[in-house]
Amino acid sequence: MGGINPHAYLADIINRIADHPANRIDELLPWNWSPQIIVST
């Protein structure tokens, strides 16, 4: 759906959902989703 990898989408959403603000939940919908970029220092 939408050209995204379903496994990557679900794995990312499961990792982020607990800390994601409820008023911005629409950002996690498949058509709005973008992978979280983790920058290590």
**Chain segment 26-36, per-residue pLDDT in tens:** 988 988 888 87
Question: φ and ψ at 14, to 5 degrees?
Answer: -60, -40
Question: What's residue 10's pLDDT?
Answer: 92
User: Which residues lie below 8 Å from residue 9, measured CB to CB, with a gap of 6+?
Assistant: 30, 33
Beta-carbon neighbour count of residue 13 at 10 Å? Answer: 15
> What is the pTM for the complete model shown?
0.69
- Confidence band, pLDDT 50/70/90 cuts, at residue 40: low
Q: Is it the case that residue 23 has pLDDT exceeding 90?
A: yes
> What residue type is assigned to position 12 of the chain?
D
Q: Is the pLDDT of residue 1 over 60?
A: no
